[in-house]
Amino acid sequence: MMKELIIIGASGFGREVAWLVERINKVNPTWKQLGFIDDNESLQ
């Protein structure tokens, strides 16, 4: 069963975390990315 993950922050560091999680999942599927939470409404 994959662990659910919500990333706090959708700008630079948050995108880096998402990139790392994708790489981890290619080797050993571990994380189900549910999305991002960010208080900056201009980010999409």
pTM for the structure as a whole: 0.81
Q: What is the pLDDT of residues 15-34, one digit of tens each?
A: 999 999 999 999 999 999 99
Averaged pLDDT of the chain: 93
Domain containing 29 equals 3-37
Any residues with CB less than 8 A from the CB of 29 and at least 6 apart, and which? 2
**Is residue 15 situated within a structural domain?**
yes
In a domain, 28, yes or no: yes
| Residue where the block lists tokens 């560091």 | 13
State the pLDDT at residue 4.
98
d(CA 21, CA 27): 10
pLDDT value for 44: 63
Q: How many domains does the chain have?
A: 1
Mean pLDDT to the nearest integer, 35-42? 88
Neighbours of 25 (CB within 10 A): 14
